């Protein structure tokens, strides 16, 4: 009986230690994923769409299509709409959804989403495969 209790105690201890290390490794893996999407220097152009000079906190996911760029601008949504319309050739469809402006270009090949915030606008640009 004492031998059985010792085995159960060792097994429980091993499971506990295994669980702790599993959580530590999972947390380290998650922190690596978060670090890999840390803000980068903002480009001046993203797939032919001009990026304003005040763009900050850029997150770029562009290894392959679909590709995306998100950033913050101190400009108002209306100022950004004017900027994009000034520099984009071709038709643009524009709609409003949940207080976000959605601009669609080239049959949804390029989509720009502008969300107002307290200090300007959050902008997301998605480039889809053709």
User: Six-digit token pair at 110?
Assistant: 């390029």
Q: How far apart are CA 109 and CA 70, in angstroms?
A: 17
Q: Would the pTM of this model clear 0.75, i.e. be above it?
A: no
User: Six-digit token pair at 43?
Assistant: 């480009």
How far is C-alpha 62 from the geometric centre of its chain's CA atoms? 11
Q: How far apart are CA 74 and CA 68, in angstroms?
A: 20
Q: What is the pLDDT of residues 24-65, one digit of tens each?
A: 333 443 443 444 455 568 999 999 999 999 999 999 998 899
Taking phi first (over 0 means left), then psi (-120 to 50 degrees means alpha), and beta for anything else, what does residue 90 get? left
Q: What is the pLDDT of residue 130?
A: 86
DSSP 52: P
Q: Are strands 110-117 and 120-127 parallel, antiparallel or unpaired?
A: antiparallel
Q: What is the pLDDT of residue 36?
A: 46
Taking phi first (over 0 means left), then psi (-120 to 50 degrees means alpha), and beta for anything else, what does residue 98 get? left
Q: What is the pLDDT of residue 8?
A: 36
């Amino acid at each position: 009986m004492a031998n059985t209790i010792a085995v159960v105690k060792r097994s429980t201890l091993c499971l506990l230690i295994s669980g702790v290390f599993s959580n530590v490794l999972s947390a380290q893996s998650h922190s690596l994923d978060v670090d890999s999407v840390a803000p980068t220097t903002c480009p001046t152009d993203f797939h032919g769409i001009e990026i304003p000079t005040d763009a900050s906190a850029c997150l770029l996911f562009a290894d392959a299509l679909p590709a995306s760029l998100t950033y913050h601008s101190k400009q108002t949504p209306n100022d950004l709409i004017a900027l994009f319309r000034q520099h984009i050739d071709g038709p643009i469809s524009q709609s409003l959804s949940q207080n976000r402006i959605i601009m669609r270009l080239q049959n949804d090949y390029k989509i720009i989403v502008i969300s107002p915030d307290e200090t300007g606008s959050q902008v997301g640009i998605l480039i889809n495969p053709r």
